[in-house]
Amino acid sequence: MPSSFNRMASMTSDYNELSLSQSTIWRHAKPLFVKAMSTSSLPSSKLLCRVADLGCATGGNSIAPLVYVSSQLPSVCVMEAILVDLPSNPWTVVASTVTPESITASQPHRRASTTFVSMIGRTFYEPCVPPKSLTLSYSFVATHWLQSYGGDLPSGLCASDPLHVPEPEVWNAWKSAGESDWNMFVNARYKELDVGGVFIGAVCGIKSDGDHPWSKVGYLVYQAMESRVKRGDGLDSCVLPCWYRTDADIRAGFEQTTKLDNYGDDNGRVWDVEVCEYHETVDPIRERLLRGEITAREYGRLVIDSFRAVSNPTIVNCLSKTMDPDELDTLMEDVYEACIDPIGADPDQYNLDESFWYVLAKKIK
C-alpha cells in the first residue's frame, strides 16, 4: 500500500502552546498509569525502567506521564525516557521541554543524575528500540495518523470522515489502511515490550453523536481551500491521513498479534487488554467562550490556530509539490482567516471536542 509519509509533516514548533485540547488527555489517562504501576509486573526493586512516548510532538504532553512514572520508582532505579516521533519533528523544542530536571524536580527521592532522556526520529509503525527492552510505552493522540495511504480525496481533506469522503470505494480503501496500520503499530509494541510490560494509549474515536473530531473545522478549511486552489495544483492529493477507531478495531489489533505469532497462553493470547474505556473531552477553548472569557472572534482565532498547529504542516507539504512556497503561504493565511468568523458564529458546530478510547494492554507472553 502507498505511504503517507511523503505527505505528512510533524507538528509546528508552537504545538506546546496551541495543543490545548490534547493537553486534557492526562485527566483520563492517569488512572491507567496508576493501575499499570501498581498491578503490573513492574517490580519495585527493578534497577532500570525504560519508558517510551510514541508520537511525542514537541514534548509538552510528555511531561505529566513521565513525572508520574518517575514518582513511583524507588530512588535506586534508573529511568530512561525515550521520545519517538518523525525525523522532521522540532527536536530542539523537545530537548528543552523534556529534561531529567523537568521529570524529577517535584520528587525529593529521585535524582536528575539517574534519569535519562533519549530522542528517536523514527516511525512508530516499526520497532523503535531493541526487542523486549521496554518496561512501559504510551501514545496520546497520535495513532490516528497513518503510515499507509488509501488514495486521493476528490471531495474533502480528512480521510476518515464520510463528510469528506462520500465515495464508498475511497472510504473503504482508507478503512483498510487504518486497520493495517493499527496491526503494524500493535505488533511493533509487542516486539519492544518485555513480558509483563504495558502499553497505554489514548486512541482517537468517533464522537457519541457520530461526528468525527475536528472534522467539521477541517471541512470548513477545505471549502475555503477549494475556492482558492486549482484542482491541477494538487487539491485532491492534499489529505490529512487519519483514521478513527472503535472498541472492536482496537481489540482486533491485539488479537491479530496472537494469530500472527501463533503462541500465547492457554487461550491463545499474548496480550491482556485490561482497559478499553471511552471518554469525550470538551474543547477547553469552547469552555472559555462559554465562561465569557473570550469573544466569538477570539474563539474562532484560537480554534483555527490549534487546527493549524496540527494540520498545516501536512497541508503545506502536500500542496508544495505543485505550488510556489511563497504563494502557498499567502494562500493558506487567507484560508485560515476566512474560517475565523464562521467558527466564532457557530461554536457548537465548529469546535475541537475530542473522543478517545483509553487503552491499557499488558504483554503476557
SS3 letters for 117-151? Answer: EEEEECCCCCCCCCCCCEEEEEEECCCCECCECCC
Average pLDDT over residues 295-308: 95
Q: Taking residues 193-213, what's their average pLDDT? A: 93
- Mean pLDDT to the nearest integer, 5-24: 53
Residue 138 and residue 36 in contact, taking contact as beta carbons nearer than 8 Å: no
> Can you tell me the mean pLDDT for 175-179?
96
Mean pLDDT of 9-20: 49
pLDDT digits (tens, 9 = 90+) for 49-100: 999 999 999 999 999 999 999 999 999 999 999 999 999 899 999 999 999 9
For residue 25, what pLDDT band results from cuts at 50, 70 and 90?
confident
User: Looking at the chain, which runs of residues are DSSP E strands?
Assistant: 48-54, 78-85, 115-121, 134-140, 193-204, 271-281, 354-363
CB 233 within 8 A of CB 323: yes
Each residue of 316-340: pLDDT tens digit? 988 988 888 888 999 999 999 999 9
In this predicted structure, the answer to whether residue 291 has a pLDDT above a threshold of 70 is yes
pLDDT score of 232 more than 90: no
Tens digits of residue pLDDT in 126-172: 999 999 999 999 999 899 999 999 999 999 999 999 999 999 999 99
Please check whether residue 318 is in contact with residue 188, taking contact to mean a CB–CB distance below 8 angstroms: no
* Cell numbers given for 303: 480554534
The pLDDT of residue 40: 52
Q: Are the C-beta atoms of 339 and 305 separated by less than 8 Å?
A: no
Q: What is the pLDDT of residue 15?
A: 44
Which residue in the block uniquely carries the three cell numbers 492517569?
30
| More reliable by pLDDT, 24 or 255 | 255
Nearest to 79 by CA among 111, 53, 32: 111
